[in-house]
Amino acid sequence: MSIPYRGRFAPSPTGPLHFGSLVAALGSCLDARTQGGEWLVRMEDVDTPRNVPGAADDILRTLEAFGFEWDGAVAYQSRRHAVYGEALASLREAGKVYGCACSRREIADSALLPAIDGGMLYSGTCRAGLAAGRLARAWRLRVDASELVFDDRLQGRIAQVLERDVGDFVLLRADGLFAYQLAVVVDDAWQGITDVVRGADLLASTPRQIWLQRCLGYSTPSYAHLPVAANPAGEKLSKQTKAVPLKVADAPGELLAALRFLGQPAPTELAAAAVRDVWAWALENWSFAAVPRQRSIVIP
Ligand code: GLU
């Protein structure tokens, strides 16, 4: 018997949903529903200073207006600090994490190369223990020099050598907040997620998440990284690039555009149809095989 499919959409409430988020929500939801799966929504509000008041409710109302229906209650990472603390404690007992006293400045000064995600590759100063008089600011997970490989359903074979490409990475930050990498891994396991379908901007984070799953004894879900929508300057649509919020009044038109972006030949007439008619077409005709195997697609 195969494990039932369980997918999820995990927005960060840092602003209203935009076209890029609609693509991720729609791709993950259709992949789940057309396989008879469940689809959950999780608010990734662990980075509390970045949360915008009211954004989480606004996201949920927008999803409803766009015809999305999720299973169960929405999970909020901001309420799960104790659980992330337990996961970190178990890693500490197993000697897999260590306290790091380095300041941002010291890391930048000692880093020889940039990390794969544009951050700084940690040189490992505190790996063998803190020098006398130094206090731990953050907690890092040890990585090794082996090649970590996984097969993405859309992007193919992805390989990283964490020690070379990322370095020991932070799970508990100097400001006392748990890192996204820890929260996402703990929650995907807690919610029993079998299939992660999300934007390709998270492709470079995936080997870190798989490594963490292995360190915590969790199983690894299957991954599909959808192309991200980029502006003509090649930047991913986001709050920083001033992506326009989704227009709820034009939900059918926006859904149609998202389906087309995902390679589905949705008929133009759907733009004038009701939201439920667009969903009926999408559920009937969804073809995962038609989704472009690209990391980004420029939209005008
Ligand atoms: N919260 C992340 C974001 O908004 C998504 C994380 C995920 O899907 O794993 O970019």
**198 alpha carbon – ligand 1 mean position (Å):** 7
Tell me the pLDDT tens digit for each residue of 205-241.
Answer: 999 999 999 999 999 999 999 999 998 888 887 777 7
Alpha-carbon distance 280 to 293, whole Å? 25
For residue 166, give the nearest of 185, 181, 153, 187 by alpha carbon.
181
Asked if residue 198 has its Cβ within 6 Å of ligand 1, the reply is yes
Q: Which domains, from first to last, does the chain contain? A: 6-79+191-201+221-298 (3.40.50.620), 82-180 (3.40.50.620)
pLDDT of residue 112: 65
159 DSSP assignment: E
- Indicate whether residue 6 lines ligand 1 (CB < 6 A): no
**Tens-place pLDDT, residues 92-134:** 999 999 999 998 888 877 776 777 777 778 888 999 999 899 9
**How confident is the model at residue 147, as a pLDDT?**
98
Q: How far is the CA of 199 from the centre of ligand 1 (A)?
A: 8
Read off the tokens for 228. Answer: 């991200």
Residue 223: per-residue pLDDT? 98
pLDDT score, position 2: 66
Q: What is the pTM of this model?
A: 0.95
Residue spans of the chain under pLDDT 70: 1-2, 112
**pLDDT attached to residue 270:** 96
Q: What is the pLDDT at residue 232?
A: 86
Kindly give the number of the ligand 1 atom that is closest to the alpha carbon of 188. 9
Atom of ligand 1 nearest to the CA of 205: 9
Residue 199, token pair as written in the block: 């934007």
Question: What token pair was written down for 82?
Answer: 């104790």
Ligand 1 centre distance from Cα of residue 134 (Å): 34
Concatenated DSSP letters of 109-135: HH-SSB-TTSSB----TTTT-PPTT--
The verdict on the CB of residue 41 being under 6 Å from ligand 1 is no
The preferred substitution site among 80, 180, 208 for testing ligand 1, maximizing ligand atoms within 8 Å of CB, is 180
Question: From the CA of 10, how far away is ligand 1's center (Å)?
Answer: 5
